[in-house]
Each structure stands twice: as C-alpha cells, then as structure tokens.
A and B are shown apart, each in its own frame.
Chain A
Amino acid sequence: EVQLLESGGGLVQPGGSLRLSCAASGFTFSSYSMSWVRQAPGKGLEWVSAMSNSGDNKPYADSVRGRFTISRDNSKNTLYLQMNSLRVEDSAVYYCVKCSTACQHNWFDSWGQGTLVTVSS
C-alpha cells in the first residue's frame, strides 16, 4: 500500500523558512516522479512543483519559483520542499503527491494527508 507521510509544517513569520518532508513507502520511490500541491484554507487546489524520478526536471509554479526548492533523496525514500521568503499567501495545507509514472501526461495517483503551513506575524 502506498503511504506518503508529510511533516515539517507549522507556524512561521513572514520572510521565514520551512522545510517540508514526505516519507514514502509501499512503492519503489526512485521509479516515480513526485509533486507538491497546496490548498489554502477554504480554497481550491494549487500545483506547486514536481520532480522527476532522477531529479533532472524540476518545474515550479510561478507563485513560488525562486523561493521554493524541491528535492529528493532516493536512498531515504523522501521528498522535500524547502520554502524560503515565505509570505502570508503561502499559508496552506501542503500535499505530497505520487505521479502514476512521470507527472506530465499522466496523473496524480496517491496523496498524503497533508501538512499545514501557517505564515503569520
């Protein structure tokens, strides 16, 4: 059974940093592209970033490019999202998502339970 367990969320001041982690199990992590999706309270879904299984392709949403960095450690079956220069509008539940193979031209087949990030002074 695929399991994706996010951690690292919390309360941070504007301008601060957080690193989210997603521990994956139940599948061969190194074979799949992964992604992050966020959802502000009471709002819709917003794609944030993705990463190919090899790590050579890392697209970002315009809203986070230059501030967020996605990475992965295939030896630890873990996906990361380093978030810098956080803004109030980055407050959301962040979901770790497994793509069916590559992300592009495929689909998101498994989602974690999410971790809440609150950016507030």
Chain B
Amino acid sequence: IQLTQSPSSLSASVGDRVTITCRASQGISSYLAWYQQKPGKAPKVLIYAASTLQSGVPSRFSGSGSGTDFTLTISSLQPEDFATYYCQQLNNYPFTFGPGTKVDIK
C-alpha cells in the first residue's frame, strides 16, 4: 500500500490553520497514524486510528478520514509545531509511511 502526502512542504505563520493530506493507494479502513518528527529526534505519535488524539497531545491537532483519504489539521500553529509530519498505514504488512510534510516558518 503506497501513501502520498500533500503538500511535501509548507511555510506557515504562528496562529495559522494547517491541513496536511494523506492518500492511500487502496482502502485501509481507519488504520492510519500521524507522527511528528523534529530534527535529530525520534518520531512521536500524534493521532492513531485516523482520528484519535494520543494522550498528552495538544487538542489543536486533529485527524479525520477513512478508506483512502485522510487529513491532519493543526488548528492554530504554535512555534513548537514546526517539524516534519508523517502518516503511516497499519492495515496490512508491510507497513508504509508517507514521504512526509515539512512545516516551516514563513
């Protein structure tokens, strides 16, 4: 199963609403997770089961979708949110990740 993400990168300002999309090459139900990775650090899960917020993750992050089309939304971008975001399908082996979306400061 291949995952595509758009955009591949974006520049945004603090306070902006940001939306990242992830599309699967075939249906994966809701078995999709979103991860945030900062430079030199391990990824961290934000959202699982397409729309469930991981404990401890700020509520400005939200996820939606099922089947083949998914979105990650940051309602009001904060300075600590500048990072790369990856989607991952866990419906079937081999698990696959999207290519990533880099969010940087405008």
Tell me the smallest distance from the CB of A92 to a CB of chain B, in Å. 13
Assuming A107-B33, A108-B33, A111-B42, is B97 touching A45 (CB within 8 A)?
Answer: yes
Secondary structure class of chain A's binding surface, majority of residues: loop
Measured CB to CB, the nearest residue on chain B to A103 is: B90
Q: Are A105 and B31 in contact (CB under 8 A)?
A: yes
Inside 8 A of B94's CB, which chain A residues have their CB?
47, 59-62
Tell me whether B43 and A45 are in contact (CB under 8 A).
yes
* Complex CA distance for A5 and B98, rounded to whole angstroms: 26
| Chain B interface residue count, Cβ-Cβ cutoff 8 angstroms | 24
Q: For the complex, is A106 an interface residue (Cβ under 8 Å from B)?
A: yes
- Chain A residues with Cβ under 8 A from B33's Cβ? 107-108
Flag the segment in B18-26, B44-52, B65-73 that touches A.
B44-52
B61 in contact (CB, < 8 A):
no
Minimum Cβ distance to chain A for residue B4 (Å): 12
Q: Is the CB of B43 within 8 A of A50?
A: no
A68: CB under 8 A from chain B? no
User: Is B78's CB within 8 Å of the partner chain A?
Assistant: no
> For residue A45, which residues in chain B have a CB less than 8 angstroms away from its CB?
35, 37, 43, 86, 88, 97, 100
Q: Which of A104, A108, A113 contacts B93 (CB 8 A)?
A: A104
A95 CB-CB contact with B under 8 Å: yes
Contact of A44 among B45, B90, B100 (CB under 8 A): B100
Cβ A50 vs Cβ B48 within 8 A? no
Residues of B at the A interface (CB closer than 8 Å) are 31, 33, 35, 37, 42-45, 48-49, 54, 86, 88, 90-100
List 24 contacting pairs A-B, 8 Å CB cutoff, sorted by A.
A35-B95, A45-B35, A45-B86, A47-B95, A47-B96, A50-B93, A62-B94, A95-B42, A95-B43, A100-B48, A103-B90, A104-B31, A104-B90, A104-B91, A104-B93, A105-B31, A106-B48, A106-B90, A107-B48, A107-B88, A108-B43, A108-B88, A113-B42, A114-B42
Q: Which residues of A contact B (CB under 8 A)?
A: 35, 44-47, 50, 59-62, 95, 100, 103-109, 111-114
